[in-house]
Amino acid sequence: GRGITVTEVWCESDGGTPAINLQRDDGTPANILTVNFSCTTSGATGTIDTNEDNVADTQRIDFIMVTAGGTAKRVTVVIRYQIDP
């Protein structure tokens, strides 16, 4: 495996405004996004915390549903990244 650098996180829901975050988990989870952000039916892009955007090949990314946001039944999350050299 190889490490990655997260460059963008995009989220869309089928309704409501669910709030999410992602965590880089190296044994002590840390938020990849600077703040929890609300997904929308038209899609939204979160702000990356540049101190937590590097994910080593031995680490994982955890999805956190902070709040379900009412009527949402589906949340789609897309992570754009670069493979580290």
Residue 54's pLDDT is 96
Instruction: Give residue-wise pLDDT tens across range 4-40.
Output: 999 999 999 999 999 999 999 999 999 999 999 999 9
Residue 50's pLDDT is 95
Distance of alpha carbon 62 from alpha carbon 5, whole angstroms: 15
The DSSP bridge partners found for residue 19 are: 38, 67
Q: What is the mean pLDDT of residues 69-73?
A: 85
What is the reported pTM? 0.89
Residue 63's pLDDT is 96
Would you say residue 1 has pLDDT above 80? no
Residue 83 contacts residue 74 (beta carbons within 8 Å): no
